[in-house]
Structure 1
Amino acid sequence: MSTVVETKEFQTEIRQLLDIVIHSLYTEREIFLRELISNAADAIEKLRYTQLTGPEVKDKDLALEIQIDTDDNAHTLTITDTGIGMTKDELVGNLGTIAHSGSKEFIKHLSAKGDQKDLNLIGQFGVGFYSAFMVADKVTIYTRSYHQEGGSYVWESDGVGSYTITEGEDAVRGTRLVLHLKEDAYDFAKEETVQRVIKQYSSFVPYPILLNSKKVNTVDALWTKNKSEISDDEYNEFYKFIANAHDEPLLRLHFSSDAPLNINSLLFVPKENFEQFGFGRTEPGVNLYCKKVLIQEKSPAVLPEWLRFIRGVMDSEELPLNISRETMQDSALISKLNKVVTTRFLKFLESQATSEPEKYKEFWEKFNLYLKEGAANDYTHQKELVKLLQFESSKTQPGELISLGDYVGRIKEGQEAIYYVNGPSREVIESGPYLEIFRDKELEVIYTYAPIDDYIFGAIREFEGKRLISADEADLNLNDVEQNARNEQAMSEEDVLALTGWLKEVLGSKVTDVRESKRLVDSPAVVLSPYGTNSMQRMMQLVNKDLNNVGPSVLEINAAHPMIKRLETARKTGDDFAKIAAEQIFENAQIAAGLILDPRGMVNRLNEILARALR
């Protein structure tokens, strides 16, 4: 008995459409395997659903799984599923047009009946199937429907413009695709290549995938499970898999959200920050999934750049994907996804800082620069980020950290500002002149060690109604606390006016003003930056290595200090050494402020001072 072969043409203009699918639609050729596995999983999901709701199906005891076989000699790749299979009409309907999706039709049919509960389809059968022709010059399909009385059929095409359908031998339920690979795609007949692609795109497909009879998707999609069902060991193993890591994570956040978006996320903070060790800029580490199928690896869109250290997965069924399921079409929705997850992660960090301060301190020591980067640049989340910043202060022990909230919580009555000062280390800050008035008045001062800290404080300006003021600001005004009376040991106001006027003449263009200080207690003098704060001046010098000329400064003198009094005496007596001493006092103040990059200019002067001292 001869077999009847039916040859059918694809729909009108199919040659052009096939050319688009094969050559233009997908950016990565290996995506075809993701699409075919997704279709196979859908076929099984339809069968599972039908078993629950419909008549008895053929081969009801057949295991629900996907089998993939490679043949490097024959250059073929075979994908078999034990799913719902297809009738002859379904073969024509599903594969006769690229614009048709068998999965969508299935859902549409159930929706009409008002019944699609617990159904989870991920593929677009009539669309994704044609990606097979990116790597195959011929595709043969063997299929048998789930219907007890159904027949077996063979569909075959070279993807050029027509296909054939013949009756096949009676077979078990399901579908088997045989891809006869193109010469430049023989690599997809190698087991190691197929295994790599499966791991990358389809590790979390909800049915077993057997590659040459060995199960390859061995890791569960934990983000879809209830947290109470997952052990710490399972979380750790999942992290090692998704982040390609060997150690355990420092922190993890597992959450689900229904509004404003349906989101399932499992995020991890690694134990180490390799960026701070000089390994280069960290790549984003969160993979974007839609119904457990990878859509975008290391997605740069789902979290802001400053959260690039996070590893994990994000899954949303609401992603408006384009026809190839590779890119997101609705940028506003992706932006909303970004904001929802970022806000949730920041709330998680805030709770960690309160409930597990030592754990948060460990996180802060390794990853604080990322949060500072966000606080400086991300105005959407700046308010939440500023709450997470932590610093040492004049009232903490070395290594003990406080937040701005902690500072405000213990602020002195009547104090209207939060004071801070920048320096390279605690020792340098505390040995400088800028804290003297604050010690005298018992005011707490936050210590900042990075230039970006002052940039952030300058940008936000206030916290919880308290102004943020640098202790080395030129126009520092402590009117919000009790002022001390003028030191009775100070020179007369007449002598101070004479000395400050003389210093302006001696220092010339190096200063914009010389005045009596209201902030000094123990130091003879202090310089204040023309750029607002000394830390801003230091930042400018770091950016411009040639900026050795500090520029004019404000010089404040302590009219009660013995050195300043002796300088005034030398000035009155006309001692030539007074000018040398004045210049040295000024440059000493610059050194204390960290504003001199090249001290060689004062060497001759210091030698002269030493020679005089040794007479």
Structure 2
Amino acid sequence: MSREQGSLSINSENIFPIIKKWLYSDHDIFYRELISNGCDAITKLKKLSIMGEYEEVDGEKYRLDVIVSPENKTIKIIDNGIGMTVDEVKQYINQIAFSGAEAFLAQYKDKTNEEQIIGHFGLGFYSAFMVADRVTIDTLSYKPGSTSVHWESEGGTEFEMSEGDKETRGTEITLYLNEDSYEFSNEYRAKEVIQKYCSFMPVEIYFTNADAPIEEKKEEEKEEIIDAEVDADGNAVENSDADDTEANEEEKVEDKEPKPINNPTPLWTKHPNDCSEEEYKEFYRNVFHDFKEPLFWIHLNMDYPFNLKGILYFPKINTEYDSVEGTIKLYNNQVFIADNIKEVIPEFLMLLKGVIDCPDLPLNVSRSALQNDGFVKKISEYITKKVADKLSGMYKVEKESYEKYWDDISPFIKYGCLKDEKFRDKMKDFIIFKNLEGKYITLPDYAEANKEKANDKIYYATDLQQQSQYINMFKEAGIDALVLTHNIDQPFISQLEQQDDKLHFQRIDADLTDSFKEEVAEGEEADKLKEKTDALTELFRKVLNKEKLEVKVEKLKNENVSSMVTLSEESRRMQDMMKMYNMYGMDPGMFGSSETLVLNANNKLVQYIFEHKDEDVSIFCEQLYDLALLSHKPLEAEAMTKFISRSNEIMLKMAK
């Protein structure tokens, strides 16, 4: 066989089914593509006007119209932009994937920039055939002497072109919907899709339902009545109410003027200095339909080394009811791309709500996902840096506000530290903790204030109600503790310990510090305490049927405390981890329990049990153990039932 060379050819009948079925994941996206094309046509004309190549008509208003007809199952998308000549229709419509935007930018690359041109690939128009059996184009170029063009195609693989009858500049595209897509001519469905993708496109979009009933306007005759008053000299004085009536009529006429369904100048396109607090809140309510005010926000505004604008809001999250996942909407030249694209938005920022517009994003051909590009990582790092700068700046300059917001933003910051090393490095000096007095302190502050009594440990509480007995003992001993009540606190403190081997966190019920105990002299006193420990250990193990129960008898300074339960920090963390793995079929109890029952030798009830250990004191042993356990953790269902029944029994005996 002889050697041959040539160019690959692609037949439209082969590639078109792929475009129709696979190019876009959602068929409703055709609205975005066709409206984007219309916006581009207008943007190009504006740029030509700026460059002196087109003279605008005084008072001319650029606009884009979407007209649906549920009865005829049609959609019209009309713009008064640059329009197309016959040759341009042949070039941009008849040749698949020849981008008019790219050609325009290439032609005027020295005179303009591309940041406001939306299209790049030239495939957007063909999305129409995902929903339409037949598509027509009527277009008239802005160029003097141009003739209008009519183009139509059924199925997208064959077309007809002829001279059209359009008399106004711009392009009108008509979609004759297929049977599966009639929904897109429904007014409410159409508005829903347009608002999803086109809410902030840079050209005003007007929507019309061609089949909506026309209200009959009745012309009512209006009599102009001018009330006159007579002054002291008998001269008539004209009443100003007539002028007010005319002003009111003008206002009513203005109210009836059609309004665009989009906002061409969203808040993120403005400079932060030009935005008021109320505007930020209003934008938040309108975009996210959240009527709880955000805590604060960050306005991103960057031109170099890439173009990025946006607003990130810190919402007030009620973790008991609300989802902790936020919504960050990604835009490209004010065109909606997707929510929560993880390549651009760092994972921990997904707790926020906001909008990010980056024209420089390397999108794939359908503009529905990102190309895998190192540039995207730089954008992600920039966003992370701006968030960290905002938070650290607030700590330095607005510390009172920072503390006020801390309970709401701390889960987000801690999650960010766990997930992002660079964020952690920037925020590590600005992590604060609430102490038992409700004041906010840093770890160095805590260490300095408790260095004499904390034994190089950082004590913390996870449940102020459940652990109230321990908290009271800490307060009496003059030892402070941090309040860590959120689920994320446990992995966070583990990370802090890994980063700094001098840090050792211990929950307040993990052990009894020496500050709570009386000193026991060596010799007879120590021997007596050991005798009590051995005797009570044997008794409680027998009564409770817990052969491995560890019992300690200590002389606590507070004689009102009868019993307590402690669990070592290491054991408790292991149990917590096993609970997490329980969903995979692992039994948290397989590692046993190292709970220690602490009995106070100075307490009268404990002394009574020791002195009468040979008598029937089992009810007191059981009650003491459950009371100690209750101050440590909730009782299991069966244990709680027995505890209530036993309490009633004890009260009945006391009553008798």
TM-score, reference length from structure 1: 0.79
1:133 paired with 2:129, answer: yes
One-letter amino acid matched to 1:493:
A
Residue of structure 1 equivalent to 2:43: 45
How many Å separate the matches in 1 of 2:329 and 2:101? 25
Are residues 1:311 and 2:353 paired?
yes
Aligned twin of 1:424: 463
Note the C-alpha offset of 1:345: 3.0
Separation (CA, whole Å) in 2 of partners of 1:321 and 1:458: 39
Q: Secondary structure at the match of 1:201?
A: helix
Q: TM-score, normalised by structure 2?
A: 0.75
User: Displacement of 1:362 after TM fit?
Assistant: 5.8
1:85 Cα shift? 2.1
Contact persistence 1:321–1:327 (CA under 8 A)? yes
Asked if structure 2 preserves the Cα contact closer than 8 Å seen for 1:100 and 1:126, the reply is: yes
Counterpart residue number, 1:447: 483
Worse-superposed segment, 492-501 or 527-536: 527-536
Partner AA of 1:182 in structure 2 = N
1:312-347 per-position Cα deviation (integer Å, ceiling 9, x unaligned): 211112222111111222276555544543453354
Corresponding residue to 1:294 among 323, 336, 347 = 336
Mapped partners of 1:418, 1:544: distance in 2? 30
* Counterpart residue identity of residue 167, structure 2: A
Tell me what 2:312 maps to: 267
Give the partner amino acid of 1:244.
Answer: H
Moved more, 16-25 or 455-464: 455-464
Query: Deviations along 1:166-198, whole A, 9 cap, x unmatched?
Result: 233573332222223334333433444333322
Of stretches 602-611 and 332-341 in structure 1, the one that deviates more from structure 2 is: 602-611
Distance 1:596 1:93, change over 3 A: same
Q: Using the alignment, how far apart are the partners of 2:352 and 2:101 within structure 1?
A: 34
- Change in CA separation of 1:355 and 1:612 when aligned onto 2, cut-off 3 Å: same
- 1:142 pairs with 138, 142, 148, which one? 138
Following TM superposition, by how much is the alpha carbon of 1:534 offset from its aligned partner in structure 2, in angstroms?
A: 5.9
Q: 1:26 to 1:604 in 2, by over 3 A?
A: closer
Give the Cα–Cα distance (whole angstroms) in 2 for the partners of residues 182 and 313 of structure 1.
34
Q: Structure 2: how far apart are the matches of 1:594 and 1:289?
A: 49
Of stretches 368-377 and 187-196 in structure 1, the one that deviates more from structure 2 is 368-377
Alignment of 1:101-500 (within 5 A): 101-111=99-109, 114-117=110-113, 120-124=116-120, 126-169=122-165, 171-212=167-208, 214-218=259-263, 220-246=265-291, 248-258=293-303, 262-270=307-315, 273=317, 276-277=320-321, 281=323, 284-297=326-339, 299=341, 302-303=344-345, 307-330=349-372, 334=376, 337-352=379-394, 355-356=397-398, 359-360=401-402, 363-365=405-407, 381=423, 391-394=433-436, 396=437, 400-405=438-443, 407-408=445-446, 411-412=449-450, 417=456, 419-426=458-465, 428-432=466-470, 436=473, 439-440=476-477, 442-450=478-486, 452-461=488-497, 467-472=503-508, 474=510, 486-487=519-520, 492-500=525-533
**Aligned residue in 2 for 1:4:** none
Instruction: Tell me the distance in 2 between the aligned counterparts of 1:606 and 1:283.
Output: 45
- AA aligned to 2:38 is A
Structure 1 residues 276 and 297, CA, compared in 2 at 3 Å: closer, same or farther?
A: same
Task: State the secondary structure of the residue aligned to 1:156.
Answer: strand
Change (3 A) 1:581 1:490: farther
Q: Distance in 1 between matches of 2:507 and 2:555?
A: 12
Label 1:561 to 1:60 Cα distance change in 2 as closer, same or farther (>3 A). same
Give the length in aligned residue pairs: 587
**2: CA distance, partners of 1:123 / 1:610:** 81
| Aligned partner letter, 1:448 | L
Q: Does 1:13 align with 2:11?
A: yes
Moved more, 532-541 or 33-42: 532-541
User: Separation in 2 of the partners of 1:210 and 1:161?
Assistant: 31
Structure 1 residues 84 and 557: CA distance shift in structure 2, 3 A: same
Question: Helix, strand or coil: the match of 2:122?
Answer: helix
Shift of 1:29: 1.4
Q: SS where residue 449 of structure 2 aligns?
A: coil
Deviation at 1:61, TM superposition (A): 6.6
> For 2:32, which of 27, 31, 34 is the aligned residue?
34
CA 405–486 in structure 1, closer or farther in 2 if over 3 Å, else same = closer
Letter in 2 for 1:470: Q
- Alpha-carbon distance, 1:295 to partner: 0.5
Q: Which moved more, 1:195-204 or 1:335-344?
A: 335-344
Query: What root-mean-square deviation, in Å, do the aligned CA atoms of Structure 1 and Structure 2 show?
Result: 4.3
| Aligned-residue offset at 1:239 | 1.8
Q: Give the whole-Å Cα distance in 2 for the aligned partners of 1:444 and 1:237.
A: 43
For residues 319 and 509 of structure 2, what CA distance do their matches in structure 1 show? 33
The match for 1:7 is none
How much does 1:35 deviate?
Answer: 0.7
Partner SS for 1:179: strand
User: In the alignment, which residue of structure 1 is the partner of 2:219?
Assistant: none
1-side partners of 2:630 and 2:282: how far apart? 53
Name the CA distance, whole Å, in 1 between partners of 2:264 and 2:441.
40
Matched position secondary structure for 1:505:
helix
**1:532 maps to which residue?**
570
- Partner SS for 2:467: helix
Question: Distance in 1 between the 2:197 and 2:331 partners?
Answer: 9
Distance 1:438 1:461, change over 3 A: farther
Counterparts in 2 of 1:596 and 1:451: CA distance versus 1, 3 Å: farther
Q: Which runs of 5+ in 2 are unaligned?
A: 1-8, 209-257
Aligned letter for 1:75? K
Asked if the contact 1:58/1:147 (under 8 Å) is kept, the reply is no
Q: CA deviation at 1:200?
A: 1.4
Shift of 1:488: 6.1
Q: Would you say the 8 A contact 1:58–1:148 is kept in 2? A: no
Whole-angstrom distance in 1 between the partners of 2:446 and 2:500: 8
Identity %: 27
Describe the shift of the 1:382–1:419 C-alpha distance in structure 2 as closer, same or farther (beyond 3 A): same
SS at match of 1:171: coil
| Closer/same/farther in 2, CA of residues 542 and 195 from structure 1, 3 Å limit | closer
Distance 1:160 1:500, change over 3 A: same
After TM superposition, the structure 1 stretch with the greater mean CA deviation from structure 2, 377-386 or 169-178, is: 377-386
Shift of residue 32 of structure 1?
0.9
Change (3 A) 1:469 1:154: same
Cα contact 1:78–1:178 (8 A) shared by 2 = yes
Structure 1: stretches of 5+ with no match in the other structure:
1-10
Q: How big is each residue's C-alpha offset from its partner over 1:187-216, in whole Å with a ceiling of 9 and x where there is no partner?
A: 433444333322211121112222246422
Give the match's secondary structure for 2:142.
Answer: coil
In structure 1, the residue corresponding to 2:136 is in which secondary structure? strand
